[in-house]
Amino acid sequence: MDFALSEEQKQVQELITQFIAKDYPFDVREKLVKSEDGFSKEYWKTFGEFGLLAMPFPEGDGGFNGGPVDLMVILEAFGTGLIVEPYIPNIVLAGNLLSKLGSDDQKKEILPKLFSGELQMSFAFTEPQSRFDVNDVTTSAKLEGDNYIIDGYKAVVMNGPASDKFIVSCRTSGSQLDEDGISLLIVDKDSKGLSSRDYSNVDGSKASEVTLENVSVPKSNLIGDEGKAFKTISQVIDLATLAISAEAVGIMQKMNELTLEYTKTREQFGQTLSKFQALQHRMVDTFMVHEQTKSLLLMAAAKMNDNAPDSSKAVSALKFQIGSAAKLIGEESIQLHGGMGVTEEMSIGHYFKRLTTIRTIFGNSDYHLKRYSSL
Amino acid sequence: MNLSFSPEDLKFQEEVRTFLEKNYPADVKRKMDNGIPLEREDHLKWQKVLSKKGWFAINWPEEHGGTGWSITQKHIFQNELAAFNTPNIVPFGVSMCGPVIYTFGTEEQKERFLPAIRDNDVWWCQGYSEPGSGSDLASLKTKAEKKGDKYIVNGTKTWTTMAQHADWIFCLVRTDSSGIKQEGISFLLIDMKSPGVEVKPIITIDGSHEVNMVYLDNVEVPAENLIGEEGAGWSIAKFLLAHERTGIGGIPHLKREIKRLREIADELPLNDGFLKDDDLFMDKLNKLEIDLLSAEFTELRTLAAMSAGGHPGPESSILKIGGTDLQQALSELFVEALGYYAHPFMSESDLASNEKRIGPDFAATVMPHYLNFRKVSIYGGSNEVQRNVIAKAVLGL
């Protein structure tokens, strides 16, 4: 049993921590969020140069053979700096779908550009009614000659505004909730019949509503076998759930640090807030919850690394815990900051907003509790 | 013990309903129902409807224009206002400054200030908190120095809600720094048009402009604007905070919002059914409703005790904690109802424009509301301070 990170993993952690300290202070992050793109394409390419974008892929795909633990290291470090660059939609979702199911031609065409940071992608899998069930797909694709014709609607597609290409989950057979009959198609954003409404989310990320009307894509854009994508989608969503949980754990660590620091400087009733026992106990609770959540994160990452048969169950245990821990640490941090906590000016509120959206993304606590019980 | 309404009460309820159906301005209603932020004029337009009818300063003594309603009537009235989704009454004049003036003011001050508050001709805001004085309000530093028949006021107030709309501000100021900090505080009314008053917005995490910094730089205030004696400010503040805490729970609005969330759960598509099919979600909604019942009947007990005599005491802290916990829990449940559609952000100007909403119609204000409502356990005396009040003044610890 060994929970220590490898030397390489420690180096990656250190690299990101230094990048945040030097190039990604809170005011820079705020400027990026408010910019047209909503993130820095330049920094994105820097991440490519660092090798972060190719990290969690097999060497055969041009990657560095990294696994779920490496992914965890990257995202946890990203969380501490509230990095808004779209790592999860590009790398964890689109990259992994292609890496796991794509043809050699598809990989050759797309992965190098994805890893260098030239190409932006996302996975369009949520629909207004689907909530967290990736098997709930009504967007349809019908083969007509050599082309698939796609009709449907995808909701709150992460990184939609910047994306050059989408991977769209489509129903090619079966009914709305069937696991069989779901297929993945690569769709260029500028395809005829595709329209997107782009917007910002409360956490500073960007997303789109994507309407597909009679969109025609060549048969060669199918990733993997027709109708058989569900299993891989589930695996990739599990991986993304681990990744976003790691981000959350990084955010929680930072929020606890910021709150502790604030209570040591803010004085009321002639002493710093940190001297009040009622508040000390609450900070002990948030400290403990972060540690406990981190334990589940390590457990889930290790199980996924080993392809353990119960790794999906471990991921649901983790995300369930993320939901309740994020609520406690997020809300307590704001409360202990008092009025300052609700101002746009202080970073704590921005960490809170991202932590709050993570509670929902890839399934909230209720969803993962049910999934845990069913697995 | 009797919980039912008398025939007279039911008649009164009918009268209120009829009045609201006829007189609630349609344009204000449209904004409220669609989550469009209200302008100053919208608030005033609505409040004028009530003040013209004599239904604005409902809790005031009748001699100053109050209604003389029973506790039951007030309860009915508040519930109807909430059921019609009317804007919250801006409390600073009618619920805060007014009671202070009719309780502590001179006859002259009553004549000068009360009619304008009752008739909605003056917008008030509250100058309490300072950057260094939040929960520890008595440590406030804004200084008022008496020079002849004037006070010269210097300092900074913060979290001043809707100061950008206000004509007047009631302030706690320090007139004496020598003794115990509570004893040197005075209650002063300041015209916002006075030279030296400057308002700067504070933008909150929901992206809205509701609160402000108010800078007071050598502001000259006539000595006749002092309420009570010099040094009486702390007693007045305590009186006022107790008043603030009773209405702060927002029970009638919570009742309407729970009802609305039920309607949403009936209609919001989830897989091949609706949100109401999600047992875990519905359990939470039902638990909240039970919590609400306990908060509602705690408030009614407090109000009944008040009607038997006197002002609300430290027990009102229970209402503040209970009500604000519920407000936050319900705002969170709305977020859960929406799933991913809680995340798209629409600015206040997006909301005001006719741009189509993203996701379900009600979605746009849900997350901002959750974020904004972090404030309710902080303002009006943080819930930590409220617990101290209960520990000290109720439990005698």
User: B214: number of CA atoms within 13 Å, CB side?
Assistant: 34
CA distances from B80 to A24, B14, B103 (A): 51, 10, 29
Give me B9's structure tokens: 């009460």
pLDDT > 60? residue B340: yes
* pLDDT tier at B239, thresholds 50, 70, 90: confident
Q: What's the pLDDT score for residue B245? A: 58
Catalytically active residues of B, by annotation: 244
Q: What mean pLDDT is predicted for residues B14-30?
A: 98
CB count in 10 Å sphere of residue B9:
15
Helix, strand, coil in percent for chain B, rounding step 5: 55, 15, 30
Which of B134, B342, B359 has its CB closest to that of A338? B134
Q: pLDDT tens, B78-111?
A: 999 999 999 999 999 999 999 999 999 999 999 9
pLDDT > 80? residue B182: yes
Q: pLDDT tens, A290-320?
A: 999 999 999 999 999 999 999 999 999 999 9
Q: What's the pLDDT score for residue B261? A: 97
Q: Which residue of B has its CA nearest to A279?
A: B384
Q: What's the pLDDT score for residue B248? A: 59
Model ipTM?
0.96
Q: What's the pLDDT score for residue B318? A: 86
Which of these, B262, B243, B382, lies nearest to B330 by C-alpha position? Answer: B262
Kindly report the average pLDDT of chain A as a whole number. 97
Q: Which residue of A has its CA nearest to B342?
A: A357
Q: What mean pLDDT is predicted for residues A87-93?
A: 98
For chain A, where do the domains classified as CATH 1.10.540.10 start and end?
A: 7-119
* pLDDT tier at B71, thresholds 50, 70, 90: confident
Domains of chain B, CATH where assigned: 7-89 (no CATH), 123-231 (2.40.110.10), 248-394 (1.20.140.10)
Chain A from 71 to 110: CB within 8 A of any B CB: none
Q: pLDDT tens, B369-396?
A: 999 999 999 988 899 999 998 999 889 9
Give me B260's structure tokens: 């609305």
Distance from CA of B91 to the nearest CA of A (A): 20
CA distances from B364 to A27, A157, A202, A361, B105 (A): 27, 17, 11, 18, 44
- B392 inside 8 A of chain A by CB: no
For chain A, where do the domains classified as CATH 1.20.140.10 start and end?
A: 231-374
* pLDDT tier at B1, thresholds 50, 70, 90: low
Which of B135, B203, B339 has its CB closest to that of A131? B339
> How far is A307 from A295, CA to CA, in rounded Å?
18
Q: What's the pLDDT score for residue A63? A: 96
Burial of A38 from C-beta contacts in 10 A (0-12 / 13-18 / 19+): buried
Answer whether A339 sits within 8 Å of B368, measured CB to CB: no
Q: What mean pLDDT is predicted for residues A174-188?
A: 98
* pLDDT tier at A346, thresholds 50, 70, 90: very high
Answer whether B135 sits within 8 Å of A268, measured CB to CB: yes
Task: Give the containing element (helix H, strand E) for A268.
Answer: strand A267-268
pLDDT > 80? residue B310: no
| CATH of the domain spanning A122-228, picked from 2.40.110.10, 2.60.40.1730, 3.40.47.10, 2.60.40.10 | 2.40.110.10
Which of A156, A279, A334 has its CB closest to that of B374? A334
Which of B271, B358, B371 has its CB closest to that of A199? B358
Q: What mean pLDDT is predicted for residues B309-328?
A: 82
* pLDDT tier at B316, thresholds 50, 70, 90: confident
Kindly report the average pLDDT of chain B as a whole number. 93
Distance from CA of A182 to the nearest CA of B (A): 15
> How far is B43 from B27, CA to CA, in rounded Å?
11
Distance from CA of B314 to the nearest CA of A (A): 20
pLDDT > 60? residue A6: yes
CATH superfamily of A231-374: Butyryl-CoA Dehydrogenase, subunit A, domain 3 (1.20.140.10)
* pLDDT tier at B127, thresholds 50, 70, 90: very high
- B378 inside 8 A of chain A by CB: yes
Q: What's the pLDDT score for residue B311? A: 65
Place of tokens 């917008």: B123
Q: What's the pLDDT score for residue A343? A: 96
pLDDT > 80? residue B241: no
Please give the model's pTM, rounded to 2 decimal places.
0.96
For chain A, where do the domains classified as CATH 2.40.110.10 start and end?
A: 122-228
Q: pLDDT tens, B136-168?
A: 999 999 999 999 999 999 999 999 999 999 999
Distance from CA of A201 to the nearest CA of B (A): 4
Q: What mean pLDDT is predicted for residues B67-87?
A: 92
Answer whether B344 sits within 8 Å of A352, measured CB to CB: no
Q: Which fold has domain A7-119?
A: Butyryl-Coa Dehydrogenase, subunit A; domain 1 (1.10.540)
Q: pLDDT tens, A323-341?
A: 999 999 999 999 999 999 9
Chain A from 231 to 290: CB within 8 A of any B CB: 267-270, 278-279
> How far is B186 from B229, CA to CA, in rounded Å?
7
Q: What mean pLDDT is predicted for residues A235-263?
A: 98
